[in-house]
Amino acid sequence: MTNWNAMSDEEFRQIARKFIEDNYPQKLRYPSKRLRWAEIKDWYFTQSKAGWIAPGWPVEHGGMGLAPGKLIIWVEEQENYGVGRAPDHGLTMIGPTIIQLGSPEQKAQYLPKIITGEHVWGQCYSEPNAGSDLASLRTEAVLDGDHFVVNGQKIWSTLAQDATHLYVLVRTDKNVKKQEGITFLLVDANTPGITIRPIMTIAGDDKFCEVFFDNVRVPAANVIGGVNKGWTVAKTQLGFERIFLGSPKLPQYALGRLEDIAMKIGAFDDALFTDKFTQLKLDVADLNALYRRYTEIVRRGGQLPPDVSMLKVWSTETYARIASLMVEAAGAAGGLDGATDLGGMTEDIMTHYYYARPATIYGGSNEVQRNILSRATLNLPG
């Protein structure tokens, strides 16, 4: 068995890069929208068969056992090559949670089927009135014998229509502090009483869903971490999420597309455009330098400080400004949906613009991230 962590970072990077270049479909590079399971499952299966599907999982559970620094390299190489994101909640969220907090029976039941792709997981956290204030969730689970009966509604569940299983935060006690009355449940998506309804976005895709629970019976054995301990369980899933959401790759890619467009249509002849572009280029360069600072902490095995929240704010808001300038530079063509011809090249400008808006919300809205920075970093009153 290959000892990946014994390799130098550069040697591992070259092997990872070659694996991606040799196996990832060219037609799926830099997708303009989130890919559905049917579109990208072959890539998932290819990784699974080669032993590359769960790089961060321990070897004993079917993973590669990569140290944090090597895991970041793997993510960076995928981003650099334009690899589309597969439905990966099983790999990045629920799998690690089960490894850390699940019972031996839960590990044996769920982990192998995540590795093979037999189980595809979706997240059911947010609700219509519980988004950034997630602890206000109202989806209720009442114990009835050896089952919980679940009733309520979830929203913004990404690609839930492709999921075979869902992990759900439910309220199991209304008489305690709201964070203390929440339980974490694993739910088979084919259980009677579950309705999944896709939501069509302004960008023209249906990657988000509403999920309705109507007297859904879930075995009590499917609780992770203990009854009323779900808030703590959910927090263990954060892991590297904040640092990956703050990756400079998305604004870097968008800036490259903006530069290509500007060259084609002669936008650099306009001094005002050139000034705006240069400011954005410097912002992306500064973001990249900041990102490296935090990845070095991870490489050393250190604990990320609260001020890592500035990465997500910086990355997503820079991306939004780039997308806005792309629309502005394209003139009348900037408001057209779909692939648009711009001086001999085609670009789906509005998709960048549409996707830049929710990027500031998901993963903890930027307002919430600023509150974290104000309290935990600047010691300002809450």
> Which ranges in the chain belong to alpha helices (H)?
9-23, 37-50, 68-81, 89, 95-101, 104-116, 230-236, 241-245, 249-265, 271-299, 309-329, 349-359, 366-372
Asked if residues 40 and 120 have their Cβ atoms less than 8 Å apart, the reply is: no
Q: How far apart are the first and last CA of the chain?
A: 51
Cα separation values, 326 from 182, 284, 319, Å: 43, 15, 11
Encoded tokens for 317 = 């808001």
Residue 160 contacts by C-beta under 8 Å, 6 or more apart in sequence? 122, 123, 124, 166, 189, 196, 209, 211
Annotated catalytic residue 259: no
Catalytic residue selected from 39, 140, 241, 317: 241
Asked if residues 178 and 111 have their Cβ atoms less than 8 Å apart, the reply is: no
Distance, in Å, from the CA atom of 380 to the CA atom of 377, rounded to the nearest integer, reads 8
Say whether 190 sits in a helix, a strand or coil.
coil
So which residues are the catalytic ones? Answer: 241
